[in-house]
Structure 1
Amino acid sequence: MTGHTELPLLFLDVDGPLLPFGEDPQRAPRVATPDSRLARLTSEVRRRLAALPCELIWATTWEDEANAEIAPRIGLPRLPVVSWPESTDQHAREDQWFGLHWKTRPLVNWAGGRPFAWVDDEITDADREWVSAHHSGQALLHHVESYRGLADEDFAALDQWLRAL
């Protein structure tokens, strides 16, 4: 193999994608307790994440707690963690005005031009448009329904996109 190529990044949110919450609007309500949410974290989730050709990065308000609570539960090693800037950042008001998620700009900065996928339950078209205008590499902003979390079709879409790079 000639030359070193860096893997694309996969920015992973916890609440919603890994720990679903809320209810499917089409179904009868059920109560989701913190324990029932954590019970969803299995080695199967780790196997599917580890099979993706990327470098996993925590992109969650859990920050390093994701390494303490989530990673060991599913058998992942400690992962890099995005540290979020204080909301007094000069871009915060402008981002809010344009409907950008508060994570969008920091993730593009963190990626530094590397290709990345971002899995979150709060991604909108405003985030996709901003990333396409401000990120020099390829990017996939993949929205996951917060009531169901990462499902087969999400893993398939991520795998297909990452392998096509």
Structure 2
Amino acid sequence: MTDSVRPLLFLDVDGPLIPFGPAWTGRRPGRAAAPPAPGAGNPLLARVEPADGPRLAALPCDLVWATTWQADANETVAPLLGLPDLPVVDIPEPDADEPGGLHWKTPLLVDWAAGRPFAWVDDEITGADRAWVAAHHPERTLLHRVDPGRGLTEADFAALDAWLRAG
């Protein structure tokens, strides 16, 4: 693949990279991350798995932040993952989901992709999003829902890698 046709991988932060909620039981086996320095801000940043950064960077795609963290993802999350600054989708604060259960990010990501193939990793993706993207985006897509209580898992990385390499 050339850089001009590499798929995009839109990354959400809360849920996929920062697990939360009642299902979160602590660090994943084999991972040992130091918590952020005292006073470093959001205590949930201690849940970021530094080993996810190299795994994301190794995927055959262009990584893009698709999160309400906006540019803060580059300032706060990227260094914890060892990632460089990534492009950021400008995501305004949502008033509510779109009609019919469509996630408010969905049309924004299709517009941002501008016809390129893309995968989207988020914890709020539904069938309504998949149907809307299929009807409005001519290229191949993967809308991959991550369990927000676990964050990205081995199975998630395997699914992303398989889809990206199948293109």
Same structural fold, with TM-score higher than 0.5 when normalized by the shorter chain = yes
RMSD: 2.1
One of 144, 147, 150 as aligned partner of 1:145 = 147
Q: Does 1:164 align with 2:163?
A: no
Scaled by the length of structure 1, the TM-score of the pair is 0.84
3-state SS, counterpart of residue 5 of structure 2:
coil
Flag the 1:4–1:81 CA change in 2: closer, same or farther, 3 A. Answer: closer
Q: Does 1:119 align with 2:121?
A: yes
Percent identity, aligned pairs only? 62
Q: Does 1:63 align with 2:62?
A: no
Scaled by the length of structure 2, the TM-score of the pair is 0.83
Q: Point out where structure 1 has 5 or more consecutive residues left out of the alignment.
A: 28-33
* Paired amino acid for 2:156: D
3-state SS, counterpart of residue 130 of structure 2:
helix
One of 31, 48, 51 as aligned partner of 1:44 = 51
Flag the 1:43–1:98 CA change in 2: closer, same or farther, 3 A. Answer: same
- The CA deviation at 1:98 is 1.3
- The CA deviation at 1:43 is 3.3
Q: How does 1:73-112 map to 2 (within 5 A)?
A: 73-85=80-92, 96-112=98-114
- The CA deviation at 1:108 is 0.1
Q: Name the count of aligned residue pairs.
A: 151
Q: Does 1:16 align with 2:15?
A: yes
Please give the alpha-carbon distance, in whole angstroms, between the structure 2 residues aligned to 1:146 and 1:5. Answer: 32
3-state SS, counterpart of residue 98 of structure 1:
helix
Q: Point out where structure 2 has 5 or more consecutive residues left out of the alignment.
A: 26-41
3-state SS, counterpart of residue 112 of structure 2:
helix
* Paired amino acid for 2:107: R
